[in-house]
Amino acid sequence: NVENLEKNFLSSWGKLPEEIKTSYGESYLRQFVSMLKVLQKTYNSDLSLVTNCMEHALTSLHPRTRYSAGWDAKLLYLPISYLPSALSDAL
């Protein structure tokens, strides 16, 4: 729920010392909130993808090294995880 995430983030932001808030700036706050709203459109509401991976990892005789829950993880995030850190950070 993006509203809860935004509420928790703003609550945590309010508890930070002024020195840290100044260091990050108000633009960081606005960017984070807008990023949450953009990412909300890509969220998958089917949590069973994750719980099925967890169940397999806990109960399998031979658990996998890496699990990918959903097509976005299989086609995007898993291949990126095999790249060198500098390149994956840039992407």
Q: Residue with structure tokens 């960081």?
A: 28
> Going by C-beta distance under 8 Å and a sequence separation of 6 or more, which residues neighbour residue 71?
none
Q: What is the CA radius of gyration of the chain?
A: 18
The 10 Å Cβ neighbour count of residue 73 is 19
| Amino acid present at 52 | N
Using 50, 70 and 90 to split pLDDT, how confident is the model at 58? Answer: very high
Please give the tally of structural domains in the chain.
2
What's the whole-model pTM score? 0.52
User: What domain range includes position 80?
Assistant: 47-90
pLDDT digits (tens, 9 = 90+) for 21-48: 889 888 888 888 888 888 777 777 788 9
The verdict on 33 and 58 lying in the same domain is: no
Is the separation of the CB atoms in 56 and 46 below 8 Å?
no
Give the side-chain half-sphere CA count within 13 A for 81: 11
The verdict on 56 and 84 lying in the same domain is: yes
The verdict on 74 and 60 lying in the same domain is: yes
